Amino acid sequence: MSASSNGPTATEYIQHHLTHAGAHSGFHLDTFWVALILGFVFLAIFGYAARKATSGVPGKLQNFVELIVEMVDSQIKDAFHAKSKVIGPLSLTIFVWIFLMNSMDFLPVDLLPLIAQHIGGALGYDPHHVYLRVVPTADANQTFAMSLTVVLFIIGFSIKAKGLGGWIKELFTAPFHADGFMKIILAPVNFAFQLIELAAKPISLALRLFGNMYAGELIFILIALLPFWIQWVLGAPWAIFHILVVTLQAFVFMMLTIVYLSLAVEDH
Amino acid sequence: MNINLSLLGQMITFGILIWFTMKFVWPPLTQMMEERAKRIADGLAAADRAKQDLANAEKASADKLREAKQQAAEIIASAEKRAAQLVEEAKVAAKSEGERLLAGAQSEVDQQVHQAKEALRQQVAELALAGAEKILRSEIDANKHSQLLASIKAEL
């Protein structure tokens, strides 16, 4: 949609695209529903494949699902050496869900918002105030929700591996080890370091994914401001490059989760 | 960046997804893949075993074949030996039989020669006697000279 004389200005167009549905109510309906639907798509495909799974000759869908599961499983086996029933499903969910949510970037930037505006208009709302952002991972709420959940798992894994007492003791005795009097002096320093470490993990996880996807979305919006006959010159290369970004970000989030969890169960 | 209640909503969604994956997706898939890996390993082991069995069977059959050949050769050799022996025996028997027949014939011939000689001698004696009788009929008495005639007969 190029800015025309009676349409929105470029600034208005961008602002419109960067406003969440239900933003004023304090709950991002678009993020919630798109993420939920994509989550169900993931569960439906993988659940169906798991139900139909056979150890004989696999079908095409099973082959594809196995490929992903095997990739995730081999990453876990490489990095995570303890036994856990949670890490596999957690990593698989992270990878596929983030991949699907990132992939929403490939839809034309105006497609779903335009449909939403028409539906909203038909329902009696002012179309100019119907907002929709279709990439849930370009919403910091989504990425922080995932990274904070991962932190909860990190703490849970630590407590399970070392016991509650062991985990608390480690908060005050690592990374700097000492004996006697120095131990007491170093305790607050260690605690501060541990808190920073614990806070840095979710922030870095969440902001990395959010930043990448937000920037990607913004560039697609900017490309959409160009005249329609030139858009492909920038749009096609960016979309092709984005295939890499989408997959890579999903993989990085999964891989770092595995690494953090393996650090959590190791003794310092 | 606008953090609000959505954060909690997304955490709940995430939790549900993880729970469902943990319950219904991950275990059957990984279990099935392990099963298949095991089946493939078993299949490969079975193939190896079958190969070994085949090699053993081939070796056993080759051994049997060689043994059979050897036995056949032995049988042929002994048969040839026996045949040669039989021929030899037959030759010896034939020779001795021939000699025996020859000896019988010889003795018969000898006997007949002897008989003929005897008969000839008899006839010559009779002829001589007859001749002498004719000669002497006139002048010699047979009774008188029988002694002399008998000595002549013995000398013939």
The answer to whether A98 and A245 have CB atoms below 8 angstroms apart is: no
Q: Is A26 left (phi over 0), alpha (psi -120 to 50) or beta?
A: left
Interface residue of A25, A54, A64, A93 to substitute, partner B, most B CBs within 10 Å: A93
Structural domain boundaries of chain B? Answer: 6-155
Q: Which residues of B touch A49 (CB under 8 A)?
A: 29
* Contact check, Cβ <8 Å, A148/B7: yes
CA distances from A196 to A174, A192, A257, B48 (A): 13, 6, 17, 57
Average pLDDT over residues A25-36: 84
| ipTM confidence score | 0.85
| pLDDT tens, position by position, A116-151 | 888 888 887 777 777 888 888 888 889 999 999 999
For chain A, how far is it from start to end, CA to CA, in angstroms?
A: 56
Q: Which residues of A touch B5 (CB under 8 A)?
A: 26-27
Q: Which residues of B touch A141 (CB under 8 A)?
A: 2-4, 6-7, 9-10
Q: Is the dihedral of CA A89, A90, A95, A101 positive or negative?
A: positive
Q: Which residue of A has its CA nearest to B6?
A: A27
Of the candidates A18, A185, A157, the one whose C-alpha atom is nearest the C-alpha of residue A76 is A157
The answer to whether A265 and A129 have CB atoms below 8 angstroms apart is: no
Is B109 a residue whose pLDDT tops 70?
yes
Q: In this complex, which of B2, B13, B24 lies closest to A47 when CB atoms are compared?
A: B24
Q: In this complex, which of A43, A88, A148 lies closest to B30 when CB atoms are compared?
A: A88
Tokens of B55: 């090699």
B47 to chain A, closest Cα gap in Å = 18
Q: Peptide bond before A58: cis, by omega within 30 degrees of 0?
A: no
**pLDDT band of A267, cuts 50, 70, 90:** low
Least confident of A32-41, A168-177, B48-57, B73-82: A168-177
| pLDDT tens, position by position, A79-114 | 888 888 889 999 999 999 999 999 988 888 888 888
Least confident of A37-41, A149-153, A170-174, A187-191: A170-174
Neighbours of B30 (CB within 10 A): 20
| pLDDT tens, position by position, B114-139 | 998 888 888 888 888 788 778 776 76
**pLDDT band of B72, cuts 50, 70, 90:** very high
Write the DSSP symbol of residue A230: T
Cβ neighbours for A117, distance < 8 A, ≥ 6 positions apart:
A127, A128, A130
Provide the percentage of residues in chain B whose pLDDT is more than 90: 54
Average pLDDT over residues A201-208: 92
Is B104 a residue whose pLDDT tops 50?
yes
A42 at interface of B, judged by CB pairs closer than 8 A: yes
Is B45 a residue whose pLDDT tops 90?
yes
Is A3 a residue whose pLDDT tops 70?
no
The answer to whether A138 and A217 have CB atoms below 8 angstroms apart is: yes
Is A5 a residue whose pLDDT tops 50?
no
* Contact check, Cβ <8 Å, B14/A43: no
The answer to whether A23 and B1 have CB atoms below 8 angstroms apart is: no
**pLDDT band of A39, cuts 50, 70, 90:** very high
* Contact check, Cβ <8 Å, A46/B25: yes
